[in-house]
Structure 1
Amino acid sequence: MNISAQYFDWAASAPQNPEIAAEALEIAQKYAANPSSIHRAGLEAREKLEEARKRCADVLHVKPECLVFTSGGTESNHIPLLSLLQKPVKGSIVISAIEHAAVREQALALERCGRRIIIAGCGKDGIVSADEVLKKCADDTELVCIMAVNNETGAVQPIYQIADALGTLKGRRPKLHVDAVQAAGKIPFDFSYPGINSAAISAHKIYGARGIGLLYTASRTESFLKGGGQEDGTRSGTENLFGIWSLMRCLETCAEKTVCTAAFEAQKEKTAFFIDALQKIPGCTIIPEARAARPDLYSPWIVQASFKGIPGEVAVRALSERGFYISTGSACSARKNKRPVLSAMKIDENTARSSVRFSFGSMQRQKDIEALIEAVREVNTLFGQKT
C-alpha cells in the first residue's frame, strides 16, 4: 500500500487500500445491475451483495440477517435513534457526554421533537462507568447510546459491563446502541456480546471506501425513513455494491480476530514509545494524564496531547508545513472549534485549547513515529511557552 509515512490522522479517515479498491471496482462493474431487479443480471448482483453480507457476518461472528449496509457510520448511528420516532410514547434516551457528533447532535434534534435526553457523564479519565449509566436510566428510558472507543482520547468504554448492568434493571430493559466506528478492525470487540442491540461501523476508518457503513442490529429495526424497502426495509436506497465489497474486504483484512489482535498488540508497543517520548517534551501533557498508568484502558491507535502555549490549530498547521498531518480532534467538529469531550472530562480551557490528536495506522513503522516526534519537538521549541 502506498501510504504517506507522515499521515497521523487515521481516526479521521484512512487512506484506501488500492488493491481492495480495484477489486471492488471490478466487482461493481461486472455486476452492474440493480440488486433489486428480478432479471438474471439483477439476481447475479444480488448474489454478490449477499455473499458480501455473509462474509462480513463471518468476520464479526454474527448472523448475516443482523447486518444492514448503510451510507456510513453517521447513518448507522442515526437509524436506531430515528427509529424511536415510530413509537407514540416519547420515552427518554441516555447518551454519554463523550459521544461523536453523529450521536450527540441527532439526540439533540430528537430532544427538540419532544424526547428527553439524559447525559451520562464521564470521569477525568474519559471513561463512562456502568454505574453512571445505570444511575441515569429512568423508568421510561428506551435507548442507551455509548461509544466503544472515543474518537478523541482513545478511551475504551466498558461496553460489556454496561450491557450486563442494563440487564439488571427492573421492568423493560432499554436497548443499547454502540458507536463502534473506532473499534471495528482496530481493537478486539465482540459485536455478538449479549445485551448489545446495535452497533455502527464505517469503512473509511479501516482502509475502505467513503460513503459505506454497516449497522449491526440484533433484532429488526423499524426505520423512520421509508423508501424502496431495501435492506429488509431498514435502509432504503439502491445498494452500493462497490462500497459494500470494499467494506467486506477491509473487514476481512483488519477485523478478523487473529489479524486484529496481532495489529493491536504491535501498535501498543509503538504507542507506549510515542507517549513516553511526548512526556519528555517540556510543556506536554497527555490527555488524560491517567493514561500513562492505565494504558490498557485506551486504544493504542489514538493519542491526545496538549502543548502549553501552542493553540491546537497552530500545532496542526506548523506540523502540516513540515509534512506531518494530525488534527485537533474530530474532523466533523474541527471547524467549529468546540471540544465537548474535553469539557466533559473537566479539562481546563487552556489545556483543551492547546490539545491535538495523533492517530495511527497499522502500516506505519517505528521510524515514522520517530520522525513525527522530532517534528513535534521542533514545533514545541519554536512555538511553546518558554519557562
Structure 2
Amino acid sequence: MIYFDYAATTPMSNTALTAYTEAARKYFGNANSIHDCGTEAQQVLHLCKQKVSTYIGATPEQIHFTSGGSESNLLAIEYLKQQTVGKHIILSAGEHNSIRQTEDKLINEGYEVSIVYFNEQGVMDLEMLYELTRDDTAFISVQHINGEIGTIQPIDEISIWCQENHIKLHVDAVQSFGKIDLTQIANQVDSLSVSGHKIYGPKGIGLLYLKETPIYEPSLFQFVLKGNTVDIPSVVAFTASCEESVHLLKQEVVQMEQLRQTFKQSLNYKEYIRFFEAEEENQLASIIGMAIERMDGQYVMLECNRHNFAISTGSACDVRYQKMTNTMEALQVGEETARQFFRISFGRYTTESNIRSLAKCLNDLIQSQVISGV
C-alpha cells in the first residue's frame, strides 16, 4: 500500500530503529537505580535531554520525557493551572482532542472556557482572540500546525499578546517539530509538546517542555515526570529521530513543496475540488485538506484504500468517533462540507511517482462518480 497518512503517524526511520536496538542492548538499566548500570542509563537520559533541548532553545532541566503528545498536552494543562490564578482559559477550536476533551473537566473545576475559531484560511482569528481575552485569563492553548489542513498558527503574534497581558501560553508542536525551525520557540511559550511518532521515531514517547518548575508536585507529575522507570531505548530513538529531522529539515521543506505542487498540478478537475489551505507562508506543504463536490470523504478514503492508497478523513483521534472533526468545527463549515472532507499527507518516503498515481486515482474517481453522474 502507498502511504499518504504521515500526519497521523510515520514509519520509524532506520536511524531511529538502529538507535533503539543498540540502546536496548547496552543501556537496559533502570535510570533510577544507583548502581553502575542505572548510572549509565541516567547519563544517557541526561545527554538526550541536552541534545533535544537545543532544538527548541531550552535547557535540559526544562525537558520532561512523556508517553507522547497527548500526555504532554494533558500535563501542560495541569502545569498551567498550577502556575496561574485566573479562572478563564482560551482554546482554539481546532485543537487536538487531547486538549478539547479537557473542556468539561475544566468547567467542572470552576474554569470558564472560551473558544477561538479559524478564519476562512484556517488560521486563528486573532481579533476574536483579543476580544475574548479578560483580566482573569489564565492561559491560552494553541496547536501550532493544524493536523488536518496543515495551517500554521501565528505563534509570534499570540506570544506577544500573551506576554503583554501576563497570560501563559501552551503550544502543541506535535505537527510542527521537525518540519519548521523551532530553535527559538522556548522563548515564546510556557509549555510545549512534541511526539516521537510524528517524526519517524517510536510511538509511546514524546516530550513536554516546561519553562518553570511546577509550584508543587501532585501525584500526576511525580509519577509521570519523576517516579517512573524511563524507557531509555525509546528516549534514545526519539532523540535520534529529532536530530535526523532537524538535520533534514531544509531539504525536506523543499521536497514537500515540490510534491504538493506536483499533486495539485496533476489534478484534472479542480472545479470540483475544494482545498482547505492558507497562503503559502502560513501553510505546511505536506498536509493537504480537500473535498470533492458531491462525494463523501469516507467514500473517497475507501475507494483510495481499494486502489492501494492510504489516506484519511481527518485526525485519527476524531474519525473513530464518527463526528465532525475539530478543524471543520473551527472553520464553521456545514455538515455536508464536513462529510466531504478528506486529508492527504506525505513525508520523507513519498515519491513523485506516488503523488502522480494518487492524483490519477482521484481524477478517475471524479470522472466516474461526479462528471458521469454514476
TM-score range with shorter-chain normalisation?
over 0.9
* Correspondence list, 1:95-106, <5 A: 95-106=91-102
Q: 2:68 — aligned with what? A: 72
AA matched with 2:240: R
Distance 1:263 1:385, change over 3 A: same
CA distance in 1, matches of 2:78, 2:313: 30
Per-residue CA shift, 1:89-122, capped at 9, x if unaligned? 5611111111111111123322222211111222
Q: 2:136 — aligned with what? A: 140
Q: Find the residue that maps to 1:384 and give its secondary structure.
A: helix
Distance 1:167 1:84, change over 3 A: closer
CA distance in 1, matches of 2:170, 2:316: 22
Q: 1:378 — aligned with what? A: 364
CA distance in 2, matches of 1:31, 1:296: 43
Q: 1:275 — aligned with what? A: 264
Runs of 4+ with >4 A deviation: 84-90, 222-225
Q: 2:118 — aligned with what? A: 122
CA distance in 2, matches of 1:92, 1:228: 23
Q: 2:335 — aligned with what? A: 349
Q: Say whether the 8 Å CA contact 1:70–1:235 is kept in structure 2.
A: no
Q: Which has the higher helix share?
A: 2
Alignment size in residue pairs: 372
AA matched with 2:347: G
Q: 1:198 aligns with which of 175, 178, 191?
A: 191
CA distance in 1, matches of 2:292, 2:216: 45
Deviation at 1:85, TM superposition (A): 5.2
Q: Find the residue that maps to 1:352 and give its secondary structure.
A: helix
Q: Which has the higher contact order (CA 8 A, sep 6+)?
A: 2
Distance 1:135 1:235, change over 3 A: farther
Per-residue CA shift, 1:236-295, capped at 9, x if unaligned? 421111211111000100024xx312211221122122233347345211114xx4xx22
Deviation at 1:190, TM superposition (A): 3.8
Distance 1:296 1:223, change over 3 A: farther
Q: 1:263 aligns with which of 252, 262, 265?
A: 252
Distance 1:281 1:17, change over 3 A: same
CA distance in 2, matches of 1:58, 1:188: 12
* Correspondence list, 1:1-387, <5 A: 6-84=2-80, 86=82, 89=85, 91-169=87-165, 173-222=166-215, 225-226=218-219, 229=222, 234=225, 236-256=227-247, 259-278=248-267, 280-288=269-277, 291=278, 294-338=279-323, 339-384=325-370, 386=372
Distance 1:87 1:254, change over 3 A: closer
Further displaced range: 377-386 or 133-142: 377-386
Q: Say whether the 8 Å CA contact 1:328–1:334 is kept in structure 2.
A: yes
Q: Say whether the 8 Å CA contact 1:281–1:377 is kept in structure 2.
A: no
Q: Could you tell me the TM-score, scaled by structure 1's length?
A: 0.90
CA distance in 1, matches of 2:237, 2:151: 28
Distance 1:253 1:349, change over 3 A: same
Q: Find the residue that maps to 1:274 and give its secondary structure.
A: helix
Deviation at 1:59, TM superposition (A): 3.0
CA distance in 2, matches of 1:65, 1:252: 19
RMSD: 2.2
Q: Say whether the 8 Å CA contact 1:228–1:237 is kept in structure 2.
A: no
AA matched with 2:237: S
Identity level (%): 27
Distance 1:224 1:133, change over 3 A: farther
Deviation at 1:377, TM superposition (A): 1.4
